[in-house]
Amino acid sequence: MFTLGKELLHMYEEPVLQLDMDIRKGETCLLSQGSYEWGTARTVAVPLARDAAFFLVDILPQQEVCLQECPGTCLCASVMSEASASMLPQAPAQPLCKQRNVGVFAMDCPRETYTMQKDTHYLSYTFCWLPSYLERMSTFAGGSYGQLFERTSPQYQNDLPRELAQLLLNLDVGQIEAPGMMPYFQGIGLHALSLLNSSVQSHYDAHQRFGSREQQVVVAQAKALMQQNLSASIHLEDVAHDVYVSRSYLCAAFKAETGYSVLDWLRRERMVRAQELLLQPKVPIRVIAEQVGFKHLSSFSQCFKAQVGCSPRAWRAQL
């Protein structure tokens, strides 16, 4: 039975009606789709509770379309095309994938106008939780769910826990209208929220302990372990286990103490080591790639160029 509350219902309906799309009520969702003078679109809303929902938006305008943003306050976990991500109030600064970017953000949006560009694909599927839902989660599940909205700053794929990013990227939205899909999205939504809560709490704890001797030792030990194993495939779970902390806390502590994510720091260290090896002209680049943890030369060259600004071969030729 469809039980979406008034606030989330309004967030779904208003932009759809602005586009002159008809909304029909399915057994377990709201749906609007079709071809129109301005383009093609499909939107779906699946209730998770009265104050939590899963939204799918798939729009391809054939002309420029202006819409008024519907005001709303909610916590979101989303997979978005580049165009959809760029429309967020705090859009990601890093380069984006054209098709799928994972993001988590707290939205408290006033009414404002935005423009969808011609022949640009706007695709997103998003879990939305209202603050009232988060408060109830704190009551029923314990923990700090009620503080998630205030503590969640925009995070994108490289900064999110890998398990959460993969959970969202692996979502099955192909049969979203099927009657049996509501429990699926409810279960995935609860799992995603639990992972997010754990991650945000770890970041909060890490910032509270910023500069503490204990936290500095953890980060120093993690750095040493990774530097000793640059040629190996390094998994954060293993590093965290070896320094006796959780993966989420290690990531948070590392970012708090160094300003870098663990993976960004590791990538930089590998490229520094690669440059040292490139100074030895007789060492083949393929061997250097292996010694800094890359199985494929093409992946190494791509990473080196992104970090240094030129290919390994070109860098060596400049010496």
Could you tell me if residue 293 is left (phi over 0), alpha (psi between -120 and 50 degrees) or otherwise beta? left
**239 and 137 in a common domain:** no
Q: Give the CATH number, domain containing residue 221.
A: 1.10.10
Query: What residues contact 228, with CB distance under 8 A and at least 6 apart?
Result: none
Quick one: which of 44, 69, 48, 52 has its CA closest to 8?
52
Q: Are 144 and 208 in contact (CB under 8 A)?
A: no
Domain that holds residue 290: 268-317
**305 and 246 in a common domain:** no
**155 and 46 in a common domain:** yes
pTM: predicted TM-score of the whole model, two decimal places:
0.70
Q: Answer with the one of 173, 190, 206 that is the final residue of a domain.
A: 206
**95 and 55 in a common domain:** yes
Question: From CA 128, how far away is CA 207, in angstroms rounded?
Answer: 26
Q: Which residue has the tokens 């029909």?
A: 24
What is the number of domains present in the chain?
3
Question: From CA 129, how far away is CA 199, in angstroms rounded?
Answer: 17
pLDDT in tens, the chain (319 residues): 557 889 999 999 999 999 999 999 888 899 999 999 999 999 999 999 999 999 999 999 999 998 887 777 899 999 999 888 888 766 665 556 667 888 888 888 766 788 999 999 999 999 999 999 999 888 877 767 888 887 787 777 767 778 888 899 999 998 898 878 889 999 999 999 998 888 887 777 777 777 788 889 999 999 999 999 999 999 888 998 998 888 878 888 888 889 888 888 999 999 999 999 999 999 999 999 999 999 999 999 999 998 999 999 999 998 7
Spell out the SS3 assignment of 157-223.
HHHCCHHHHHHHHCCCCCCCCCCCHHHHHHHHHHHHHHHHHHHHHHHHHHHHCCCCHHHHHHHHHHH
**193 and 95 in a common domain:** yes
